Structure 1
Amino acid sequence: MGFPKKMVVKGIKEIGHSDGNALLELLLTYKALEDGDDLDSENSYGDDNVGDTEPDSSGSTVEFLRDMSEKDEKIKSLVDMGFSEYEANMAIKRCGVDLDLCELVDSISASQIAEDIHSRNLSDHQATDRCFNSFGGRKKARLMEESKKKRNQYGGSAEGNQPSLNGSHDEPMPLPNPMVGFNLPAARKRGYIHNLPIENRSPLLPMPPKTIFEAFPHYKKWWPSWDSRTQLNCLRTGVASAKLTERIGRAVASSGSPPSRSVQKYVMNECKKGNLVWVGKNKVAPLEPEEMEYLLGFPKDHTRGLGITERYKSLGNSFQVDTVAYHLSVLRVMFPNGVTVLSLFSGIGGGEVALHRLGIHMKAVVSVEIGKANKMIFRSWWDQTQTGTLIEIDDVKSLIDDRIVSLVSRFGGFDLVIGGSPCNNLAGCNRYNRDGLEGEQSALFYHYFRILNVVKSAMARM
């Protein structure tokens, strides 16, 4: 949830760790007091190793100024995304200025969720009583009031909220469980609903790799001991430049063995941000497109034939095939003779590749995808692997109601309607085009709702 380690340790020492709600309440109290600068020096909980606001005793003024400049830049970026300056400041204070921007977004979201959980566990009256009766806490009362407002904003029990999955307005819509069934975090910022059965799901075999060295054992030879990464970050649509990787190599080579702490910090920040791997002595490089295909569960050379920039872009906007297949695995028993699919925002065919790897025959697929490069990749894969009917539609806006009814009549209905995201850059840094459901691209998701309703109505009349 983003609380500093020292703060958590102190809280556990004070009340133990058997009551999670009480511990969370105490941590929020610490946070409220800390935010108000009411903590004395002996109650400072910040991590000494991150987020320093003063130059160290060795006089590394340049590094300090660089960190401050980076902090200002990240605060501006977070504010541009719609977060408050206060939330941005606190996220950097908790996690450190060197953390990746998308991870800072995660930290802010986790903090909001923590406040929501806490405020749901206490009635407003109890919360106010505790706020004023513990730690002299008027600041905590203010925090609870802000939490209540956020609960109303993000789906709490205030009047006028969106209904939950069971149609009730009394409970907030629950956050989805992680999509991946392999003990790995689900890294997407948004969850998607489905009506697939959850019993008897099964993963694709062989199981996908869980660590960097499971996926790429040959990199272990060059991996420095001070690089503690075991997993990669979200895959993105762009990669580090040759100038950056050269600069990293020079910094490591000229800094001694092991490199100085400041060099390690700089290198680790860039490696995490760009998913750089060690391919030689003091040499880092971005993942190759073939390696991204492997991690995402696509067949080798799935995107080959495009320019390297287009390959990175298409793969960075794709979903992980093993994850999708885990959910779709229940269809093997339900549709032994194959399925007819309406695929919206198909991308490079993550859903279709998942069905194919599951051994589910696709009798027909109506694919809606506007990207020319994505369409070329998908069509090439289809021609090499499938025998069913493929109908391609360029723009979801052109799939008008009458055309949907005609397709339903032609194929006798659709067994599966599946949709990716209409947005590019799913890793979380494209805020301009996917701002809530009102962004330039994310607003297209309303068409999914429209199309699904038309399909259901047309099939009900059959």
Structure 2
Amino acid sequence: MKASTLPCSSNSKLIDHFVGMGFSEEMVVKVVQENGEGNTDSILETLLTYSALETTAPVQQNPDSGNCSSDYEGSLLNDFSDFDSFSETEEIISPSSEEGRKLLHLTKMGYSEAEASVAMERCGPDSTIEELTDFICAAQIAKAADALFPLEDKKPFSNGSSHKKRRNWGYDLLLRKKKLKLEKRFDEDDDVVHLPNPMIGFGVPNEPDKITHRVLPEAALGPPYFYYENVALAPKGVWTTISRFLYDVEPEFVDSKFFCAAARKRGYVHNLPIDNRFPLLPFPPRTIHEAFPLTRKWWPSWDTRTKLNCLQTCIASARLTDKIRKALEDSDGEPLLGIQKFVLEQCRKWNLVWVGRNKVAPLEPDEVEMLLGFPRNHTRGGGISRTDRYKSLGNSFQIDTVAYHFSVLKDKFPGGINLLSLFSGIGGAEVALHRLGIPLKNVVAVEIAEVNRNILRSWWEQTNQRGTLTDIQDVQELNGDRLEQLIKNFGGFDLVVGGSPCNNLTGSNRYHRDGLEGKDSALFFDFCRILDLVKCIMNGTKSMIV
């Protein structure tokens, strides 16, 4: 039905309004009929949802290569011949409006187009990126909290029987977090976390500045020790929430560029001791040319990189690298400044290295393994595709960084350690402990991706581990009864680890590997739930409800 055929003039004006915003007339008519003309907010959100569903599928995956490619590389690289200056390059690669630039910026940060569009509509045309990310983050946290806190008349962990009593290990957790939610005040200063520069946490190897003592809140004291990782560059309020829910422990921010040749800015909330840390030896390569010496021959003087950026779950397409090659070959002598800067932008974005004259290429999976500290071929074989290898590695820990933090446990657990590894991915925590020489007595690893479970199981067998590995597919299986049985079997957990780096509150891959169909921050709240249950059970505190 067309707008002109509708009898109501107000209806026509409403449809014209949304058509003017860029939505198709057919879609607008359908949505107005579904929602009625009285609720414009509902109409807009439905239109944004339909638009997101129509537009996101084609750009997420390159079906030919199986690798992610730049969302805008096709439009950027159609013609290099007019690149006379960097300002012209910027004009070509940027969206035509301020609204478009904000939308692109937010989607590159990992937010969905629907989230970004709703935030821009609600916050107004003059809103800053910081204000928009605050709005989206608040919406995500509110949604996750609403999912976590049941209605008062519901009985958590109830099996539907009114006469059978069940242990409710999660009841106190729900009350504690509901109280935190009600007491939360969005104070401007409290929500801002100032990242240190340099980002060395309590200290890194070969740097003089070190902190060897801190005072932990009483509620955070072990056992067990806990360790949660998330990306450091999170929107305002995220780290405040993480710390608040993890016993008000302040995060330790560390960039893995101090441990390897790739940057990886992460924050860690943990109750581990911080004195007498030591690094894994031998030290891994610290620069690109140390890690990949054969690239030095082809490296142009105008590419001044010494470190790679954060390793992602996807790589640049062959189409992009080929167009870069052609653009450089067409240059007479040294490329124009605009081309140089554009190529450097793509090299930084996709971690491209020089493998020949005018030839750049993405890192191979085994090269990513080396940079992250995993053993060679850790993710190779067993029917695992190249795409899955990149995805699994991009969502993993940087071993040298994590092992530096875990090193304080070596003297504490000479006979071995019991580990609960939540969202364990390809076994970063397990590999770090093993490389430190800490025996793995009992490991319970929770990971929904079968590919990753197979990788961890293969590593466990190839390294001849003498302990017991129990893998669990879905984190929802870890309720009070299951945890109580596991703890009874081997006497409790010494360390609880969680937070796959790119799959968390603000990571760009928050819709994958969580087993909860992308419910934003659900994984973090599951970590809190399970950690509280473990502490509760190990301390002998048991709650009963009818």
TM-score range, shorter chain: 0.5 to 0.7
Distance 1:179 1:65 in 2: 32
Question: Cα offset for 1:358?
Answer: 0.4
The corresponding residue for 2:95 is 69
Distance 1:336 1:200 in 2: 16
Query: Which of these residues, 66, 70, 78, is aligned with residue 105 of structure 2?
Result: 78
1:438 is displaced (CA, Å) by 12
From 324, 329, 345, the counterpart of 2:402:
324
Is it true that 1:458 corresponds to 2:534 in the alignment? Answer: no
Q: Equivalents in 2 of 1:252, 1:278: separation in Å?
A: 12
C-alpha displacement of 1:416: 1.2
CA distance 1:88–1:277, shift in 2 (3 Å): farther
Q: CA deviation at 1:189?
A: 6.1
Identity %: 52
Does the CA-based 8 Å contact 1:178-1:186 persist in structure 2? no
Aligned CA RMSD, in angstroms, stands at 3.9
String of CA shifts for 1:329-358, please: whole Å, max 9, x gaps.
011100111111111111000000001100
Q: Say which of 265, 287, 290 aligns to 2:341.
A: 265
Seen in structure 2, the aligned counterparts of structure 1 residues 270 and 418 have a Cα distance that, compared at 3 Å, is same
Please list the CA deviations of residues 189-241 of structure 1 after superposition, one character each: whole Å capped at 9, or x if unmatched: 65231111101000000112221011111110000001111110110111111
Distance in structure 2 (CA, Å) of the matches to 1:384 and 1:59: 54
Describe the shift of the 1:63–1:334 C-alpha distance in structure 2 as closer, same or farther (beyond 3 A): closer
Q: Which amino acid is 2:189 matched to?
A: R
How far did 1:417 drift? Answer: 1.2
Q: Residue 302 of structure 1 is aligned with which of 336, 359, 378?
A: 378
Unaligned 5+ runs, structure 2: 1-81, 138-185, 195-236, 542-546
User: Quick check: 1:345–1:422 contact (8 Å CA) kept in 2?
Assistant: no
Name the TM-score, length of structure 1 as normaliser. 0.66
In the alignment, which residue of structure 1 is the partner of 2:521? 442
1:383 correspondence with 2:461? yes
Determine the C-alpha separation between the residues in 2 that align with 1:428 and 1:163.
14
Match in the other structure for 1:424:
503
Residue of structure 2 in register with 1:150 after alignment: 188
Q: Relative to total residues, which structure has the larger helix share, 1 or 2?
A: 1
Whole-angstrom distance in 1 between the partners of 2:256 and 2:363: 22
Check 1:163–1:405 CA distance in 2 against 1; reply closer, same or farther (3 A cut): closer
Which residue identity lines up with residue 361 of structure 2 in the other structure? A
Q: Is contact 2:253-2:268 (8 Å) kept?
A: no
- Closer, same or farther: CA 187–213 of 1 in aligned 2, 3 Å: closer
> Within the alignment, does 1:343 sit opposite 2:369 as a pair?
no
Contact 2:85 2:337 in 1 (8 A): no
The answer to whether the aligner puts 1:244 opposite 2:244 as a matched pair is no
1:400 to 443, 458, 479: 479
Give the direction of change, closer, same or farther, for the CA distance of 1:261–1:60 in structure 2 (3 Å limit). closer
Cα gap change, 1:276 to 1:427, in 2 (>3 Å)? farther
Question: What SS class does the counterpart of residue 396 from structure 2 fall into?
Answer: coil
User: Does 1:314 find its partner at 2:396?
Assistant: no
C-alpha contact 2:280 2:400 (8 A) present in aligned 1: yes
Please say if residues 420 and 443 of structure 2, whose CA atoms lie closer than 8 Å, have aligned partners that are also in contact.
yes
1:87 to partner: Cα distance: 6.6
Counterpart CA distance in 1 for 2:246 and 2:322 is 56
Deviation at 1:174, TM superposition (A): 5.1
Tell which deviates more after alignment, 65-74 or 344-353: 65-74
Aligned CA distance change for structure 1 residues 195 and 292 (closer, same or farther; 3 Å): same
Q: Is 1:275 paired with 2:347?
A: no
Give secondary structure in 2 for the equivalent of 1:245.
Answer: helix
Measured against aligned partners, the alpha-carbon deviations of 1:72-99 in whole angstroms (never above 9, x if no partner) come to 54421335646876575799xxxxxxxx
* Partner Cα distance (1:163, 1:376) in 2: 30
Which residue identity is paired with 1:206? Answer: P
SS of the residue corresponding to residue 343 of structure 1 reads strand
Change (3 A) 1:362 1:70: farther
- TM-superposed deviation, 1:59: 8.9
Shift of 1:176: 2.6
| Deviation per residue, 1:299-323 (Å, 9 max, x gap) | 0000001111111111111110001
Aligned to 1:234: 310
CA distance in 1, matches of 2:246, 2:387: 45
Superposed displacement of residue 178, structure 1: 2.0
Whether the aligned pair in 2 keeps the contact of 1:325 and 1:354 (CA below 8 Å) is: yes
Do 2:502 and 2:508's aligned partners in 1 also have CA atoms closer than 8 Å? no
User: Mind listing any 5+ residue stretches in structure 1 that lack a counterpart?
Assistant: 1-55, 92-104, 110-147
- 1:128-171 per-position Cα deviation (integer Å, ceiling 9, x unaligned): xxxxxxxxxxxxxxxxxxxx963254479x9xx87977999xxx
Mapped partners of 2:366, 2:405: distance in 1 = 25
* 1:163-312 map, 5 Å: 176-178=252-254, 180=256, 182=258, 191-305=267-381, 306-312=384-390
CA distance in structure 2 between the aligned counterparts of 1:264 and 1:225, rounded to whole angstroms:
11
**For 1:392, what is the secondary structure of its paired residue?**
strand
Corresponding pairs, count: 346
SS at match of 1:258: coil
AA aligned opposite 1:379: R
Contact 2:261 2:307 in 1 (8 A): no
The separation in 2 between residues aligned to 1:411 and 1:323, in whole angstroms, is 29
| Larger mean Cα displacement after TM superposition, 290-299 or 71-80 | 71-80
One-letter amino acid matched to 1:247:
K
Matching residue's letter, 1:232: L
